[in-house]
Amino acid sequence: MEDFSGYPIHAPIDYSFAAPNSLLSFLSVDSTALENQIDELSTFSDTPAPSVTRILYTEKDVLARRCALLLVFTLCGLILRYHKENACFHGIDWGMGICKLQYIKNLMGLSGLSVREDAVGNIFGRWDGYEPDLAPVATGSHIDAIPYSGKYDGVVGVLGAIEAINVLKRSGFKPKRSLEVVLFTSEEPTRFGISCLGSRLLAGSEALAEALKTTVDAQNISFLEAARSAGYAKEQDDISSVFLKEGSYSAFLELHIEQGPILEAEGLSIGIVTAIAAPASLKVDFEGNGGHAGAVLMPNRNDAGLAAAELALDVEKHVLGSGSIDTVGTVGILELHPGAINSIPSKSHVEIDTRDIDEKRRNDVIEKIHQSATTIASRRRVRLSEFKIVNQDPPALSDKSVIEAMEATLKELNLTHKMMISRAYHDSLFMARVSPMGMLFIPCYKGYSHKPEEYASSHNIGNGVKVLALTLAKLSLK
């Protein structure tokens, strides 16, 4: 129980949709601490700074969930400084500080949240409300990072959510509905080719639970084996225990960097997401005869690499031909086999991402990409050995009540904002299937994301945390 003068325990003021000046004036974000945490978390990476690479269930992912090495070094540093200042240097061994403290879970604990994890490593930190039987309000995001990306994508929505809880606690606020911070497992598809793995399962995807029994990564390590090595999925192969019941949460709200340039360009503080574009991903394989790059004359070739190159350009053509600026399509992976300069590619592998706020228009693009793949294969006499639609999700709409709570908050905080579409997708896309959903964006530098130059200012992050905190307070009291 918190104890703060002026607020009687179990009898809070009704903040709903009109925060009193007393709460507003106590809403203070510790931006320095939050910035340090973002920097610290970014060091749990498989590639050098400023890039971040944190892949599901790898050592760095597990450490980021669990081990706060830097905290310990900070402690060592303090001790060392103390000894130095007291002219008594004992040659402390800096290496000895390695321990099993938990990073994200430790921060949740320090904020007084009770922590649990599910079978795939979604992590939940709960602040019990004074009516704990009511469905809680949840907030959260992810901390995994694709190769050579930045330190804000997802992270702002996890560390920011924990800080939002701290903000409310420091203000003396008492939630009616419990508040829950969620760290979602593997929003990025890097390791197993499945995006939003944790939230898809929370949303009850039977198909995914079934598929994960046999899913393997590029090194042929099974999902279950990898999960177990990280300390999850201990007791069962069936991970349907992860599914949330509908009604588990009264609302879900995610704070995220925009990953686009609009807010910054228009000088706005906050974006309220009204809908999340419908994503789809495809895998395509071509096979030809390969052969020696010198010896096989051009008319005798069926080059699987050129088929892939042509398909990549056709993806761009079909996307541009959709007639809407909202259609996007990307070939982020294109691999050639055997991958030698003097060998005609005998196999190629292409992975395609395409999205639109209009599901039908997005599906039309997928159909055209399929036609292209077939035509290219036929014309180049290569075999289209795979054309697989890995996922083809519908778009999600934000919930009216969550949007209204955000709008009211922004008015009270006197922050500028605009309503916008999320073209990137997020765990919110899947949380919308089991809970009223909302998202709020903060500006980021030039819209950069998924690369080391990704950046959001401490000021903008602070605004986002404040809006998140006050909106969670409102939703908690509903």
Contact letters (x/-) for its own copies, 342-381, by CB under 8 A? xxxxx----xxx-x--------------------------
Interface with its own copies in residues 426-455 (CB under 8 A): 447-451
Q: Is the peptide bond before 147 cis (omega within 30 degrees of 0)?
A: no
Q: Does 218 bind its own copies (CB under 8 A)?
A: no
Interface with its own copies in residues 129-148 (CB under 8 A): 146-148
DSSP E strand stretches across 43-144: 52-54, 114-117, 123-127, 137-142
Q: Does 289 bind its own copies (CB under 8 A)?
A: yes
- Give yes or no for a contact between 141 and 161, defined as CB atoms under 8 angstroms apart: yes
Q: Does 154 bind its own copies (CB under 8 A)?
A: no
Q: Does 199 bind its own copies (CB under 8 A)?
A: no
Part of the chain binding its own copies (CB under 8 A), chosen from 126-134, 175-183, 238-246, 309-317: 309-317
What is the closest distance, in whole angstroms, from the C-beta atom of residue 130 to its own copies in the complex?
40
- Give yes or no for a contact between 156 and 170, defined as CB atoms under 8 angstroms apart: no
Site size for its own copies (CB under 8 A): 74
Q: Which is nearer to its own copies, 162 or 312 (CB)?
A: 312
Q: Does 423 bind its own copies (CB under 8 A)?
A: yes
User: In 3D, which of 283, 272, 261, 234 has the Cα closest to residue 398?
Assistant: 272
CA distances from 290 to 49, 57, 336, 382 (A): 39, 36, 11, 10
Residue 332 CB neighbours (<10 A): 12
Q: Which is nearer to its own copies, 47 or 74 (CB)?
A: 47
Residue 90 CB neighbours (<10 A): 9
Q: Which of 158, 209, 273, 312 binds its own copies (CB under 8 A)?
A: 312
- Give yes or no for a contact between 40 and 158, defined as CB atoms under 8 angstroms apart: no
Q: Which is nearer to its own copies, 87 or 295 (CB)?
A: 295
What is the closest distance, in whole angstroms, from the C-beta atom of residue 107 to its own copies in the complex?
26
Q: Which is nearer to its own copies, 178 or 186 (CB)?
A: 186
Q: Which of 131, 316, 388, 458 binds its own copies (CB under 8 A)?
A: 316
Strand order across the beta sheet in which 328-337 lies: 328-337, 347-356, 278-287, 383-392
Interface with its own copies in residues 244-273 (CB under 8 A): 258-261
Q: Which is nearer to its own copies, 18 or 49 (CB)?
A: 49
What is the closest distance, in whole angstroms, from the C-beta atom of residue 379 to its own copies in the complex?
13
Interface with its own copies in residues 330-349 (CB under 8 A): 330-334, 336-346
What is the closest distance, in whole angstroms, from the C-beta atom of residue 122 to its own copies in the complex?
20
DSSP 386-442: EEEEEEEPPPEEPPHHHHHHHHHHHHHHT--EEEEEESS--HHHHHTTTS-EEEEEE
Q: Which is nearer to its own copies, 159 or 308 (CB)?
A: 308
The one-character DSSP state at 292 is: B
Q: Tell me, what amino acid is at 341?
A: I
